[in-house]
Amino acid sequence: MSTAVRGLTEAALAERIDALLPQTQCTRCGYGGCRPYAEAIARDEAAINRCPPGGEPVIAALAALLAQPARPLDPSCGSELDPGVAWIDPEACTGCARCLPVCPVDAIVGAQRLMHTVYAAQCTGCELCIASCPVDCILMQPRPAALPAPSAADNRRRYHQHLARLQRRAEAQAQLLAERKLAAHRPPPLAEQ
Ligand code: SF4
Ligand code: SF4
Ligand code: SF4
């Protein structure tokens, strides 16, 4: 471990490691997202060469931080090549909206029963939306040359906004459920008794 991180708590070390990761939340490392992978590295339970989107530069940064030798990307995690951006076939999309909550950076736009589309500038290529589509109309296409992959800082900000949105929705649904349960126990109006 380098002198820069010696003496840090496990949580503080995980924070430093997480700061070096690309924040696509793609799970290709075998963990539920960048933060869980960072925590596993901090516990010395995961190797530093499991992040395909980060590739060689991230492995080198982690190696320097942790004073470990750099090593090639673990091929069992995937390829370092950019998987491109998701594209939704407008002819096939049914507007079911199942892909919306799955995208960690909210790059998919659309509403129930309306065609959905991917905002390519925000798409990290994590491929998490593909399996959510019941009609298999999400395809990966080469990233347009004019649209560089979003930065880790942008991915992190959008991911936190996404989590906050899901949290707000869960709270609103819980409140609605509580109100409906309460209403179900009210006595019926006098005229109906
Ligand atoms: S970007 Fe890297 S660290 Fe983050 S979830 Fe994907 S593989 Fe894991
Ligand atoms: S649109 Fe699909 S591939 Fe692109 S970031 Fe969202 S979930 Fe990942
Ligand atoms: S999951 Fe597929 S069909 Fe449903 S809205 Fe998304 S792209 Fe369209």
Q: What confidence tens digit (pLDDT) does each residue in 96-110 have?
A: 999 999 999 999 999
Mutate-to-test residue for ligand 1 from 28, 74, 155, highest number of ligand atoms within 8 A of CB: 28
Please give the distance, rounded to the nearest whole angstrom, from the Cα atom of residue 4 to the centre of ligand 2. 35
Q: What confidence tens digit (pLDDT) does each residue in 50-68 have?
A: 999 999 999 999 999 999 9
Tell me what the mean pLDDT of segment 1-6 comes to: 74
What pLDDT, on the 0 to 100 scale, is given for residue 54?
98
Could you tell me the two tokens for 33? 């997202």
- Using CB distances shorter than 6 Å, the residues near ligand 2 are 86, 102-103, 105, 107-108, 118, 123-129
Dist CA 169 CA 67 (whole Å): 43
Which amino acid residue places its CA nearest to atom 7 of ligand 2?
A: 103
Confidence of residue 185 (pLDDT cuts 50, 70, 90): confident
E-strand ranges in 36-156 read 85-88, 108-109, 117-118, 138-141
Question: For residue 130, is pLDDT > 90?
Answer: yes
Go through the domains of the chain in sequence order and give each one's CATH number. Answer: 10-77 (1.10.15.40), 82-183 (3.30.70.20)
Specify the pTM: 0.90
